[in-house]
Structure 1
Amino acid sequence: MANAAVTPKEPTQTAWLEVFLLWFAGISAAMQFAKFSVSYNELLTYYQAGPTWTGAAISVVGIIGLIFGVTAGLMAGKIGYRKVLLGALLLGATLSFIQSTLPSFEIVMATRVLEGFSQLGVVVAAPTMIARLSAPQHRSITMGIWGTFFGVAFALAGLFGQPLIAAFDLNGLYFAHGVFISVMIIALLLLLEKDESRFSDAPVPNQDSYWQKMVNIYRTPQTLLPGLIFVFYTSTLVSLLTYIPNFISSDALRPIMQVLLPLLSTAGTFLAGTLSQYVLRPQRVAQLAYAGLALGGLVLAQDFASPLLFSIIVGEMVLCAGLIPGAALAMVPRLARNSAEQANGYGLIAQLGNLGATVGPPSYAAMITLFGLYGLVGLVLFVCGMGSVFALLAARLEK
């Protein structure tokens, strides 16, 4: 008979320095997406591989998370979260330095596949460690901070990417990314405690096969429901950011909104962490977020003639959508019964999040092609209905 896990005492104080270091590690990993997105046109010109293959060089990183997200959660708990994090960052830095030499496109694609494993290791290990380094009164806030890492990475890449390319070509951009990750590795080695027990519970003996463990993860509501709430967010936000600007008739307002919308999404994610900590349970925050997104969609369907009013409504929708990942990430440590379930929950979020980002844009594109703005709104309402149902089920896990 298996012995119960020995759960370390909850920290009474949040290790803010280490939390922010782990957040920066997440930003450096998310830049594996952002650096190829911001340099897409230059990659297209340099390699002459065509839009399809060049686009695949961006998305293949996420496909690894789609396939191996849950597996990464299982392995991180077995190997040790600190080791997985540092190993993933070391792999990422090495691959960026290889890319900075501008090798053949085949080698670039191989490095992108491996970067998928690097990125996945970080997004499974880092939030689990942040949760264990956070005092209960700050945990939802730190999860909200963590949830902004993707948006912040794209904002930084948008701010510094083109100037780096202009000054040092593609080589400079990818080399700078390798240096950034290397700095994070050194900082974490110096400042992150080496004791792995600080980041996880004592392991519970488990004789289940690998496939049985996989099935159990999908059958466990504590790990599954946050991921299901998250998948509808990723399927929608990427699509809103991609397609909504095309409906803004003002040529002057459109580029402004293309910058403002990702910032609103990031602000919403951080706000969700604060709300989840001090005002509402994260499950309720997710319900309110989906309700606000649906309400914005219904108003948007009125097809206002004013581009400014249209943009304000879109901004409200993106802000509400941004609340969802903060709520889902805050939900994981709240629902999980041990660090293994936390890691599995984050692994499942990585997997289902990549699924949403993969199937969402073509689904929205098809609906827009068939029904225009009404097709987009209709799919938003369906997504909000499903997300609300899973948020309600998650709320029932806590009495």
Structure 2
Amino acid sequence: MAITANEGKVSQQSTQSTSWLAVILLWVAGIAAAMQFAKFSISYNQVLNHYQIEPALAGASLSIVGVVGLIFGVTAGIIANKVGYFRVLIGALFVGAIMSFLQSLLPSFEWILLSRLLEGFSQLGVVVAAPTIIALLSAPHHKSLTMGLWGTFFGVAFAISGWAGNEILANYDLSGLYFSHALFILFIALVLLFVLDKNESRYRSELPSSGESYVSKLMSIYRNPRTLLPCVVFLFYTCTLVSLLTYLPNFIEDANLTATLQIVLPLVSTTGTFLAGAISQYWLPPQRVAVIAYIGLGVGALLLMLNPVSELHLCAIFGLMIFSAGLIPGAALSLIPRLARNSYEQGNGYGLIAQLGNLGATVGPPLYAAVIAFSGIDGLAIVALIACGFGGLASFLVGRLKPASE
């Protein structure tokens, strides 16, 4: 059914109602942005074969997108508030569409790397602007729910890419995969251009410019516990979850069971993330959800050290750990609009969460790999327990801050 201008346009509505159409479309935009990671993940071997390059270079084409967020995450939050979240979002999506189209032409690998670098800025723009706008378009009694939904975008993107992307790759090769992503991200950019209110005052902080220098702004963001603590909660999640999803299935000797876990565990994590948003909205404050999640993850790590007697027991423990870890981003993302006093703090929070999230995803896997090589599954469990300790402490400290509405 076509959306008319009056139905589709998000206007200056009361904050007591939620613009569900816009929220869902912004979530889809997040999925499209996360596919910038997923499309190179599922096509890794084809990139190696087509360009005849070393695995390290192919790996660089995958990781360079995240490196941009690691370096410029907080900066993106500052810029987005100044330029405008709507402009940043739409511009980032158009840049992403152009880069995917260029990749579909299969240029030299140097151009591929350059396009991936620019995709990193595109992805960062979306993950800073989209959740900020979602929070602003969500009624107070829906914010945790919409943040829980937003937190699932990465897992959903990989699930869709593993299903439809592999099918496209098998039938239409690299060009078809990248071109289909270009069409998808262009489509959602055009839809959002039509649906979202173009009045930037709707999405930007009403605070006047403080005249602070760039460095002073950065330091104030890092010193602000309302911005920092939810992101620290998120940091120890990304450090751990990426590693658990990568290494846990390798401890199962049955090849079929291992393959099943590689499909099921990401879905378990995504389920936990959405459920955390619902729990945070209707039953428990998000900081308590985060504390419980880290406790559940720690219990699973302790059970691993008891040497389970069967692979089925191992799988049950893996499920507990992944589900508990999946609760954490739903809680952490819900904390940002709960604690932020204005859209400026919200944007800074999402920029910092992108930066620390990429830091955790970058540091975690090699750290876990080194410990596993030295002491096996017990080493993995010990590092997970340490991460739970720090993440749980950050979650406890968040609980000492008053929500912005109080």
Q: Determine if the TM-score, normalized by the shorter chain, exceeds 0.5.
A: yes
How far residue 383 of structure 1 moved from its aligned partner, in angstroms, is 0.1
The alignment status of 1:62 with 2:87, answered yes or no, reads no
The alignment status of 1:198 with 2:206, answered yes or no, reads no
The alignment status of 1:324 with 2:328, answered yes or no, reads yes
The alignment status of 1:176 with 2:187, answered yes or no, reads no
- 1:178-224 deviation per Cα after TM superposition (whole angstroms, max 9, x unaligned): 00001001110111111112223313231110000000000000000
Distance in 2, matches of 1:9 and 1:209, equals 35
Distance in 1, matches of 2:195 and 2:244, equals 39
Distance in 1, matches of 2:351 and 2:119, equals 16
Match of 1:364 among 363, 368, 383: 368
Aligned to 2:251: 247
Distance in 2, matches of 1:104 and 1:287, equals 48
User: Runs of 4 or more off by more than 4 Å in structure 1?
Assistant: none
Match of 2:342 among 331, 338, 342: 338
Contact persistence 2:165–2:177 (CA under 8 A): yes
Distance in 2, matches of 1:148 and 1:308, equals 27
- 1:55-113 deviation per Cα after TM superposition (whole angstroms, max 9, x unaligned): 11101100000000000000000000000000000000000000000000000000001
Task: Pick which of 161-170 and 79-88 moved more.
Answer: 161-170
Q: 1:161 is matched by which residue type in structure 2?
A: G
Q: 2:185 is matched by which residue type in structure 1?
A: I
Aligned to 2:44: 40
Distance in 2, matches of 1:287 and 1:338, equals 26
Matches within 5 A, 1:91-240: 91-240=95-244
Task: Pick which of 184-193 and 350-359 moved more.
Answer: 184-193
The structure-2 alpha-carbon separation of the partners of 1:213 and 1:203, relative to structure 1 and needing over 3 Å to count, comes to same
Distance in 2, matches of 1:358 and 1:201, equals 32
Q: 2:302 is matched by which residue type in structure 1?
A: L
- 1:334-356 deviation per Cα after TM superposition (whole angstroms, max 9, x unaligned): 01111000000000000000000
Aligned to 2:357: 353
- 1:208-249 deviation per Cα after TM superposition (whole angstroms, max 9, x unaligned): 100000000000000000111101000101000111111012
- 1:132-184 deviation per Cα after TM superposition (whole angstroms, max 9, x unaligned): 00000000000000000000000000001111011111000000000000100
Aligned to 2:4: none
Aligned to 2:84: 80
Q: 2:15 is matched by which residue type in structure 1?
A: P
Distance in 2, matches of 1:348 and 1:358, equals 15
Structure 2 alignment gaps of length 5 or more: 1-11
Match of 1:305 among 288, 291, 309: 309
Q: 1:134 is matched by which residue type in structure 2?
A: S
Q: 2:181 is matched by which residue type in structure 1?
A: H
Q: 1:122 is matched by which residue type in structure 2?
A: V
Match of 2:53 among 44, 49, 53: 49
Distance in 1, matches of 2:345 and 2:253, equals 47
Distance in 2, matches of 1:66 and 1:267, equals 26
- Name the SS of the counterpart of 2:255 in structure 1: coil
Contact persistence 1:282–1:331 (CA under 8 A): yes
Contact persistence 1:164–1:172 (CA under 8 A): yes
How far residue 10 of structure 1 moved from its aligned partner, in angstroms, is 6.0
Contact persistence 1:10–1:136 (CA under 8 A): no
Aligned residues: 392
Aligned to 2:277: 273
Structure 1 alignment gaps of length 5 or more: 1-7
Contact persistence 1:132–1:200 (CA under 8 A): no
Aligned to 2:7: none
The alignment status of 1:295 with 2:309, answered yes or no, reads no
Match of 1:12 among 3, 16, 34: 16
- Name the SS of the counterpart of 1:372 in structure 2: helix
- 1:306-349 deviation per Cα after TM superposition (whole angstroms, max 9, x unaligned): 11111111011000000001100000000111100000000000
How far residue 9 of structure 1 moved from its aligned partner, in angstroms, is 8.8
Q: 1:294 is matched by which residue type in structure 2?
A: G
- 1:21-58 deviation per Cα after TM superposition (whole angstroms, max 9, x unaligned): 00000000000000000101111111111111101110
Q: 1:307 is matched by which residue type in structure 2?
A: E
Task: Pick which of 201-210 and 365-374 moved more.
Answer: 201-210
Q: 1:219 is matched by which residue type in structure 2?
A: R
Aligned to 2:387: 383
- Name the SS of the counterpart of 1:305 in structure 2: coil
Contact persistence 2:81–2:205 (CA under 8 A): no
Aligned to 1:3: none
- Name the SS of the counterpart of 1:126 in structure 2: helix
**Percent of counterpart pairs with the same letter?**
58
Q: TM-score, normalised by structure 2?
A: 0.95
